[in-house]
Structure 1
Amino acid sequence: MIEQTIIHISDTHLTPSGSQPSFNQEIDPYHKLQLVFDDVKKMDTKPNYAVITGDLIHEGQASDYANFKKIISRQEEELQIPIFVILGNHDRTEAFYNGYLSEPVKEKYYYKQQINGVDNYFLDTTFENLEQGYLDQQQLAWLSTSLQTSPETPALIFMHHPAFGSSLENMKFSILQNGLELQKACQKGNVKGVFSGHIHFSTTYLTGTILNCVSDSTAYHIDCRKHHQHFVSDVIGYNIISMSTETEIGVENRYLYCGQNTVKKIQVKSTDFIDPIVFEK
């Protein structure tokens, strides 16, 4: 029987030691993340696991990731659930491997975990230190092969950058740049949902029969309604994913705080996809 609840957290942007909070946040992002965990603890039914989809530390060092590991380990113990993490464009891979994993550094951090009969894929959509996301061919081949070996097993994909959907028409410049290749890989298996972050506002859309759900940030919200000027404000948001016995999926957007002050403005010249030659390095 498949029935589970997943906590989806994204874009924590925790402040490196000695730095100021990113994007002029007025509330400490560590405090914001703690409030999320405190809220999860109030749930009547314990969730099965939690996922943090990238931008864990805002351009931190190994020591910052070591401290983050302590925070996550403590929350795993208190909640009595595993917490999985992936990387975003503001994470630094080498520092993450050294500080969080204490393992030899690899170019990409992606993996698969089966939980309660569901295959969970945790992908790495980072490309160097670019804002945009990209899935390399090696990772896509790994995903395709793995999905193909168990085509009937329900699968969920977690990644930092969302793939293109109807509600992201004016965000093409920032999201996953080769989403069509991901869609082709997903056709090899039984992918039920793709869950991401990065754009700092929540949205849900379909690509074929696959639910795509983007979580807001625990750190700051970005208002993108004006195509060429975006407005940043403090926020504390996360999602609760529910999967039924028939593998139907529902998502609740939880907001613990929505700041009304604009703390930063972002100018955007072009909203289209960037030149793909960038990724041919």
Structure 2
Amino acid sequence: MRDASKFTILHLSDVHATAGELLYGQVDGLARLTEVGEYVVAAGVTPEAVVVTGDLVQRGHWAAYAKVDAALRRLGEMVGAPVFTVLGNHDADEPARALTGHHDGHYRVVTVGPIRLVLLDSRTGALEAEQLDWLSATVAEPFGMGTVVALHHSPAPSPLPTLSKIGLRDPQLLAQALHGSDTRLILAGHYHHPMTSLFAGLPVSVGPSLAYHQVMNAGPAAVSGHDLAMFSLVQLTADQVSSAPVSLQAAHPLFSTPVSALSSTPTR
């Protein structure tokens, strides 16, 4: 049963789906979308929305968009929530118009219950003036429990030296556009590792990737990935915002305790 006092977002990012051969010979982005749905249903999570922050397909695999769109529709049906997508640097303008919600353009605003979702297009690594003007006008008036902004490139840099300069260009322009608004949270992706940050006083939750996870100790001169598929669960209440990364490749549990017994069970 859904709790009306909480708004839960299933945050996915960097699917890198392919047409034909699997990514790096073993990563099936489409199958992982289904695995996320199975995981969420089994866990009893009931999100109000699913947000996917870019790199829906691997660069050049434009034929995969139709299958991605179908897989996202199935995911939405599985978890009982609408699905919204933004584009990343691996995505392409015209081919991506095959995606639900992208026929007329790649940035828009939607409302889901008490939350306003602003979906931005940072394919180029930046937000152009026209989009920023639209954003300022869109968030000029408050809405419900507030606004969640989603884009691919994080306005806050990664702490990894190899990734620290590949976030959103000119992030201060985004800060200016959102200044004084009711924005509660910024969702992003691109780094292939989870991260939380404050940007211009706003919480930023960078979702991990469904395709692969950064090898965090690969060194300052290399970018390396290992086969770890992850997503995030994000929750908003009237006065709180929380985000938790979840791995699809869960290890064997050390113990299992009924929820009813947790209040009286010592910390393990």
Which TM-score band (shorter chain)? 0.7 to 0.9
Q: Distance in 2 between matches of 1:157 and 1:252?
A: 18
Aligned-residue offset at 1:66: 1.5
1:238 aligns to what? 231
Aligned-residue offset at 1:134: 0.5
Q: Distance in 1 between matches of 2:235 and 2:185?
A: 11
Return the letter of the residue paired with 1:75: L
Q: Which moved more, 1:66-75 or 1:87-96?
A: 66-75
1:94 aligns to what? 94
Aligned-residue offset at 1:60: 4.6
TM superposition score normalised by structure 1: 0.80
Q: Distance in 2 between matches of 1:122 and 1:102?
A: 10
Q: Distance in 1 between matches of 2:12 and 2:67?
A: 18
- The two structures, once aligned, show a CA RMSD in angstroms of 2.4
Q: 1:25 to 1:244 in 2, by over 3 A?
A: farther
Report if the CA contact (8 A) 2:108-2:120 is conserved: yes
Q: Distance in 2 between matches of 1:236 and 1:84?
A: 20
Aligned-residue offset at 1:36: 1.3
Report if the CA contact (8 A) 2:18-2:61 is conserved: no
1:10 aligns to what? 13
Report if the CA contact (8 A) 1:10-1:198 is conserved: yes
Q: 1:159 to 1:168 in 2, by over 3 A?
A: farther
Return the letter of the residue paired with 1:100: L
Report if the CA contact (8 A) 1:123-1:157 is conserved: yes
* SS of residue in 1 equivalent to 2:198: strand
Higher strand fraction (1 or 2): 1
1:125 matched to 2:125? The reply is no
* SS of residue in 1 equivalent to 2:229: strand
Superposed CA deviations along residues 215-237 of structure 1, whole A, max 9, x for unmatched, are 11011112244222122111110
For 1:22-101, list aligned pairs within 5 A. 22=23, 24=24, 26-60=26-60, 63-97=63-97, 99-101=98-100
Superposed CA deviations along residues 80-126 of structure 1, whole A, max 9, x for unmatched, are 210111111111221111x324976x6x5001112222211110001
Report if the CA contact (8 A) 2:115-2:144 is conserved: no
Report if the CA contact (8 A) 1:36-1:236 is conserved: no
Q: 1:7 to 1:151 in 2, by over 3 A?
A: closer
Q: Distance in 2 between matches of 1:232 and 1:170?
A: 13
| Residue segments in structure 1 that go unaligned for 5+ positions in a row | 128-132, 260-281
2:22 aligns to what? 21
Q: Distance in 1 between matches of 2:155 and 2:101?
A: 31
* SS of residue in 1 equivalent to 2:197: strand
Superposed CA deviations along residues 254-274 of structure 1, whole A, max 9, x for unmatched, are 012289xxxxxxxxxxxxxxx
Q: Which moved more, 1:108-117 or 1:57-66?
A: 57-66
Report if the CA contact (8 A) 2:156-2:204 is conserved: no
1:180 aligns to what? 172
2:256 aligns to what? none
Q: 1:164 to 1:254 in 2, by over 3 A?
A: same
Q: Which moved more, 1:113-122 or 1:135-144?
A: 113-122
Aligned-residue offset at 1:159: 0.6
Q: 1:258 to 1:222 in 2, by over 3 A?
A: farther
Superposed CA deviations along residues 166-191 of structure 1, whole A, max 9, x for unmatched, are 73665243111111111111113021
1:171 matched to 2:163? The reply is yes
